[in-house]
């Protein structure tokens, strides 16, 4: 087995180095065993109580986990024997000249369905014979039975050591000497340490499906290889010509659900009503590392109580798939029958429908009622005080009357935790005509445009009518008669709560129009500019005294207009002091957000460190996006101030040729060194958890920076000098390409070179990409060297790349800088790799990139 000592892993800070594979694998094992706390951003990971026990056992953590679990199942002796055996080389020998005889002797210890129990049987045999024989006789016995005497002694010594340490942990074998535990108990204990070594037989083949999509077969020497059980667990998986399982046992997959409770994933099928159970049920599947270990039918209220309750009401009470013996049920059946005739007289065919009946019960039945059993228990108590609670009457179904109530024109608009004042003004032509939502300036950053397009209920019918009339003629001529369509759409649309959160009115209208009249109308076809101004919600941004600072219909435009004043207002209300000239982390922990209440309105700001060049400032920003971008640069600057690196340390690896390349580039060595130092500091912050808000976190970054800044900056400077040398070579070649046939290609290559190698290119690209930048510059030189041979071929290749780059540039130009995502940035590097594959394929590309792949990525990003 691959052993990674717990002490070895624990010696490292619990901040996983992203490129240290052995440590990463060790963490994966410890997570599987439940030995370390789950990963939480910004917090050092520590051992669990179980992990602390594992650290004391003198075996691989997987084997130690088996011993701890054995105490629960009363099979400590057997599991310690197995754990000790798995920690050493197999004592059973198969010399080539006596292989058949050795196999025959070893076969005495085989146990059907378990190679592990074979080890226990071998152990018991050896212990018994050792008590009967002298030491020399026992040596001869081991030799005669093809057992390695030294490994047997090592096995026994490790067992004794393990038993001693386990005893110190309170783990002891059952009193009364040697007792035999049931193999199932032993296998459950073993499975605790081998969860990722489980396998499920693939159909009727001899192959098994393992964790994470792996496939393996059982070795021919295993006693389990002949029976091929449905599920197995292996002590180790060894890859030779294929993946082989060694030391295998038959197990039950259900055991893994408890043992791997922290690892399993649960998925659920579609819920359905089960009349026999009187409840909604669904199929639950439990998977461990992609293997389906449990499939069962469960009550759906364990998954989604609200939906289970809705299914109960719909199926049992509305559709009548239940026959309760309650007085209200009989009365309601009679009422609904009589209501059919009343609807004919009132000419209100929609007076009561299944949705209305559902709403009636939904408002009255207890929130915890999800089944017939729950209902009977709830109703027994509820009817004692409200005997008529569930008895239907006509007034319960008249809420759909066309009369307008005060609730249709609310005095406040609620969005999240905000309650915004709403005023109404009837003055056609005035800027404030219609519905006006008042937004306090310090809360402007928290208000989202989502939902305001629906307006208040009292004007929604007119708003819907205006939007339908604003459709282009090709859509509008299909909606005839228009008045009838408007009535139908209004009736079917429902309130915003009937749709998914953030569904726009235009999207809801498009769906409703299609449902009602079967006409396909795209949401963008509705012309909001053609809607009368009084039917669109207006916004008034008010200061602390209630004075209007700006008004308009576009919330985002108001936010952009008032951004400086909004930030200042939020900073004034925030319970944190803004500071300048900070050169050391002397302010304790910086909160990730601050809140205060101003005149009943909650104000939220996002503090960050702003890079001022020679110092940083504490500033309060309006959004988490701004905070994140500013905070990274601020922490990088403060880190450089905390860990100064001398010029000599950065330039120590520069050769004379490197210095000449830098000098010839038009930049100074000092400026390039500063660029490299900033880039390395940024990499340190990124690689060790990102920008921290905690003093302890920054102290940890300082410790890392002391070890990495100088060396990393020196390496980066040397690589940057190589890039400048390669760029100089390419520029010399460009200067010689003056023929008209190559002018276009030369101009394109020069533009590429200028964007790759420019002032600050090290920080712009990042330390991790400097090697790629060097390759790209060499690729330009390679392209230019071959350009005179066939300019037409180069033009053909350029036509493959240039349109994609133009689309990418257009995407960046129409995307606000604050909204540029990591995916967009990575797409730019994909385009550089595409150039390598097109113009300099001989130099190789770092990742598979093609025009088709870039096209798909562009489309996904909206380019």
Q: Does residue 637 register a pLDDT over 90?
A: yes
Q: What's the confidence (pLDDT) of residue 218?
A: 95
Q: What's the confidence (pLDDT) of residue 6?
A: 41
Q: Is the peptide bond before 481 cis (omega within 30 degrees of 0)?
A: yes
Q: What's the confidence (pLDDT) of residue 568?
A: 86
Q: What's the confidence (pLDDT) of residue 22?
A: 60
Nearest to 400 by CA among 360, 370, 427, 361: 360
Q: What's the confidence (pLDDT) of residue 11?
A: 37
As a whole number, mean pLDDT of residues 772-794 equals 92
Share the mean pLDDT of the chain: 88
Among 185-189, 404-408, 523-527, 777-781, name the one with the lowest average pLDDT: 404-408
Among 115-119, 333-337, 554-558, 753-757, name the one with the lowest average pLDDT: 333-337
Q: Does residue 118 register a pLDDT over 90?
A: yes
Q: What's the confidence (pLDDT) of residue 4?
A: 38
Give Cα 599 distance to the centre of its chain: 38
Banded pLDDT at 23 (limits 50, 70, 90): low
Order of strands across the sheet with 538-542?
Answer: 412-415, 418-425, 434-440, 538-542, 548-552
As a whole number, mean pLDDT of residues 52-66 equals 90
Burial (0-12, 13-18, 19+ Cβ within 10 Å), 754: exposed
Q: What's the confidence (pLDDT) of residue 340?
A: 60
Query: 430 CB contacts (<8 Å, ≥6 apart)?
Result: none
Q: What's the confidence (pLDDT) of residue 502?
A: 82
Give Cα 588 distance to the centre of its chain: 30
Q: What's the confidence (pLDDT) of residue 244?
A: 94
Q: What digits encode the pLDDT tens for the residues 220-238?
A: 889 899 899 999 999 999 9
Banded pLDDT at 16 (limits 50, 70, 90): very low
Q: What's the confidence (pLDDT) of residue 3?
A: 37
Tokens of 497: 């709560």
Q: Does residue 675 register a pLDDT over 70?
A: yes
Spatial distance between the Cα atoms of 309 and 301, rounded to a whole number of angstroms: 7
- Percent of the chain scoring above 70 in pLDDT: 93
Burial (0-12, 13-18, 19+ Cβ within 10 Å), 54: buried
Q: What's the confidence (pLDDT) of residue 366?
A: 92
Banded pLDDT at 351 (limits 50, 70, 90): low
Q: What's the confidence (pLDDT) of residue 398?
A: 62
Q: Does residue 406 register a pLDDT over 70?
A: no
Residue with the bigger pLDDT between 810 and 337: it is 810
Q: Does residue 626 register a pLDDT over 90?
A: no
Q: Does residue 435 register a pLDDT over 90?
A: no
Q: What's the confidence (pLDDT) of residue 500?
A: 86
């Amino acid at each position: 087995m691959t052993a990674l000592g717990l002490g070895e892993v624990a010696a490292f800070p619990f901040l996983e180095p992203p490129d240290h594979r052995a440590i990463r694998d060790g963490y994966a094992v410890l997570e599987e065993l439940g030995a370390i706390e789950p990963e939480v951003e910004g917090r050092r990971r520590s051992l669990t109580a179980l992990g602390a026990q594992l650290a004391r056992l003198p075996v691989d953590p997987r084997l130690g986990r088996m011993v701890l679990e054995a105490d629960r199942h009363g099979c400590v002796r057997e599991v310690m024997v197995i754990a000790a055996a798995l920690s050493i080389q197999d004592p059973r020998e198969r010399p080539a000249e006596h292989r058949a005889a050795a196999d025959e002797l070893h076969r005495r210890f085989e146990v059907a369905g378990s190679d592990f129990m074979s080890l226990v049987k071998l152990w018991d045999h050896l212990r018994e014979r050792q008590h009967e024989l002298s030491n020399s006789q026992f040596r001869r016995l081991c030799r005669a039975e093809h057992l390695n005497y030294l490994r047997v002694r090592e096995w026994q010594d490790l067992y004794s050591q393990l038993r001693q340490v386990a005893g110190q942990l309170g783990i002891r074998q059952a009193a009364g000497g040697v007792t035999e535990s049931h193999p199932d108990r032993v296998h459950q204990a073993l499975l605790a340490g081998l969860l990722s070594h489980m396998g499920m037989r693939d159909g009727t083949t001899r192959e098994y499906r393992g964790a994470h999509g792996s496939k393996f077969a059982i070795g021919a020497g295993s006693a389990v290889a002949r029976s091929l059980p449905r599920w197995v667990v292996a002590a180790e998986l060894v890859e030779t010509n294929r993946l082989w399982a060694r030391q295998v046992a038959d197990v039950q997959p259900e055991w893994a659900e408890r043992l791997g409770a922290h690892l399993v994933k649960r998925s659920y099928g579609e819920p359905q009503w089960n009349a026999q159970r009187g409840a909604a049920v669904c199929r639950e599947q439990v998977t461990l590392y992609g293997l389906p270990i449990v499939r069962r039918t469960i009550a759906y209220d364990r998954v989604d109580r609200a939906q289970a309750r809705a299914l109960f009401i719909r199926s049992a009470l509305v559709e009548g798939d239940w026959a309760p013996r309650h007085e209200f049920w009989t009365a309601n059946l009679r009422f609904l029958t009589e209501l059919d005739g009343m609807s004919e007289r009132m000419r209100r065919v929609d007076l009561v429908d299944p949705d209305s009946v559902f709403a009636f019960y939904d408002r009255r039945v207890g929130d915890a009622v999800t089944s017939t059993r729950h209902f009977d228990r709830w109703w027994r108590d509820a009817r004692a005080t409200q005997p008529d609670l569930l008895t239907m009457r006509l007034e319960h179904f008249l809420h759909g009357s066309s009369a307008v109530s005060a609730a249709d024109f609310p005095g406040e608009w609620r969005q999240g935790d905000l309650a915004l004042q709403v005023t109404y003004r009837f003055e056609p032509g005035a800027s404030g005509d219609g519905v006006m939502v008042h937004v306090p300036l310090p809360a402007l950053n928290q208000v989202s445009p989502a939902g305001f397009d629906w307006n208040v209920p009292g004007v929604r019918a007119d708003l819907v009518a205006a939007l339908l009339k604003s459709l282009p003629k090709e859509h509008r001529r299909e909606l005839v008669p228009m008045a009838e369509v408007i009535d139908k759409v209004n009736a079917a649309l429902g309130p915003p709560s009937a749709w998914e959160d953030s569904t726009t009115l235009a999207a809801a209208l498009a769906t409703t129009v299609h449902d009602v009249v079967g006409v396909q109308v795209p949401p963008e076809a509705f012309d909001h500019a053609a809607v009368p101004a009084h039917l669109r919600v207006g916004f008034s941004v008010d200061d602390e005294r209630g004075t209007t600072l700006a008004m308009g219909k576009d919330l985002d435009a108001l936010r952009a207009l008032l951004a400086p004043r909004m930030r200042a207002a939020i900073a004034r209300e925030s319970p944190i002091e803004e500071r300048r000239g900070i050169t050391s982390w002397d302010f304790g922990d910086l909160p990730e957000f601050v809140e205060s209440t101003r005149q009943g309105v909650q104000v939220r700001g996002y503090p960050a460190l702003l890079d001022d060049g020679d110092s940083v400032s504490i500033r309060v920003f309006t959004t988490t996006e701004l905070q994140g971008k500013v905070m990274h640069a601020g922490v990088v600057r403060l880190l450089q101030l905390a860990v100064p690196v001398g010029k000599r340390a950065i330039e120590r690896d520069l050769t004379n040729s490197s210095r000449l390349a830098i000098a010839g580039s038009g930049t100074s060595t000092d400026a390039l060194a500063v660029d490299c130092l900033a880039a390395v500091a940024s990499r340190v912050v990124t690689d060790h958890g990102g920008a921290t808000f905690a003093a302890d976190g920054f102290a940890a970054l300082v410790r890392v920076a002391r070890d990495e800044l100088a060396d990393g900056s020196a390496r980066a400077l040397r690589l940057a000098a190589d890039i400048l040398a390669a760029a100089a070579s390419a520029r010399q070649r460009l200067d010689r390409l003056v023929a008209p046939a190559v002018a276009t290609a030369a101009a394109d290559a020069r533009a590429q070179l200028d964007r790759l190698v420019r002032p600050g290119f090290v920080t712009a690209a990042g330390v991790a990409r400097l090697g790629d930048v060097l390759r790209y510059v060499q690729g330009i030189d390679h392209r230019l060297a071959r350009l005179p041979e066939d300019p037409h071929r180069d033009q053909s290749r350029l036509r493959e790349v240039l349109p994609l780059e133009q689309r990418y540039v257009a995407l960046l130009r129409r995307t606000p800088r604050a909204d540029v995502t990591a995916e967009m940035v990575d797409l730019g590097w994909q385009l550089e790799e595409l150039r390598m594959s097109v113009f300099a394929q001989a130099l190789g590309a770092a990742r598979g990139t093609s025009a088709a792949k870039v096209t798909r990525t562009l489309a996904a990003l909206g380019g």
